[in-house]
Amino acid sequence: MFRGSYVALITPFKDGKIDEKKFRELIEFHIDKGTDGLVPCGCTGEAATMNMSEQKRLIKITVETTDHRIPVVAGTGSNNTSEAVELTVYAKKVGCDGALVISPYYNKPTPEGQYRHYMEIAKAADIPIMLYNVPGRTGICMLPETIARLSKIDNIVAVKEAAGSVQQVVDILSLCDITVMSGDDSMTLPFMAVGAMGVVSVVANIIPEKTHELVQTHLDGKHEECKKIHYEIMDLCRAMFIETNPLPVKTSASLMGMVDEEWRLPLCEMLEENKEKLKKVLKQYKLI
């Protein structure tokens, strides 16, 4: 199941609340444009600014709107194991195809603590689980040995790798046969070159067709075509991190008329000078 271009969905807000109408429109947009899977309530979806009721509501809307047309992998992670268990159990209950679970942030558990955290979630929720290793947000990098150990648990089947290291992917795949998905658009091709099966993408929010094409050409063995697409979209991928994700991608979606540019603190609008840089790249790609 975990292969192809999965989009880390942005979350539209309106007057301080989730804009459910726009969110449903985004889901239809991605299904129409060939995105292979949807990931609501991740870092890109601003889950950290939502309460649990809102996260559950978004997950349910995604499942209902998608109606089994493509997989839904809900972001259900937390630095509080009991909260992560509750959200992951809920994702299973409402019909998600999988759960993306970030490694615990802020409290920085040891490898043993990480293992027990994920084991507790996997034991409680009979749903395919994708680990999420993103040291830039969590303050810790999961060791390949920890990931390999976790892969022995039946329903822990994939890892979203956002450590930015090809060697990390090589070490993981040399130790176990877990599915690796890139967690960084700029690293999708390098990661796939050593065995990854796709990406959980930020940039797919605004170029879903091209992101799908990048991954699919590689899976189809059309490596030169894939390399061409990689270089074609590189400037846009980089632009998505001019400031903290999801500020550039959600601002891009707003400039493209897809959502309103509304944030919840501590997230806020981009610096004007950076927004101008972003606009320049979007114009280069004829997106605005």
Give the SS3 label for residue 72: strand
Q: What integer pLDDT is reported at residue 1 of this predicted model?
A: 76
> Which residues of the chain fall short of a pLDDT of 50?
none
Q: List domains and CATH numbers for the chain.
A: 4-205 (3.20.20.70)
Q: What integer pLDDT is reported at residue 239 of this predicted model?
A: 97
Query: And the tokens for 251?
Result: 């601002």
β-strands 13-14, 17-18: how paired? antiparallel
Q: How far apart are CA 111 and CA 164, in angstroms?
A: 19
Residues taking part in catalysis: 132, 160
Q: What integer pLDDT is reported at residue 207 of this predicted model?
A: 98
Q: Are the beta carbons of 52 and 41 closer than 8 angstroms? A: no
- Find, among 257, 251, 242, 288, the residue nearest to 269 by Cα: 251
Q: How far apart are CA 243 and CA 56, in angstroms?
A: 28
Q: What integer pLDDT is reported at residue 230 of this predicted model?
A: 97
Q: What is the pLDDT of residues 75-108, one digit of tens each?
A: 999 999 999 999 999 999 999 999 999 999 999 9
Q: Are the beta carbons of 253 and 206 closer than 8 angstroms? A: yes
Q: What integer pLDDT is reported at residue 180 of this predicted model?
A: 98
CA 6 to chain centre: 7
Give the SS3 label for residue 7: strand
- Find, among 40, 146, 33, the residue nearest to 97 by Cα: 40
- Find, among 235, 269, 239, 243, the residue nearest to 254 by Cα: 269
Q: How far apart are CA 100 and CA 93, in angstroms?
A: 15
What secondary structure letter does DSSP report for 242? S
Q: What is the pLDDT of residues 246-264, one digit of tens each?
A: 999 999 999 999 999 999 9
Q: How far apart are CA 225 and CA 269, in angstroms?
A: 36
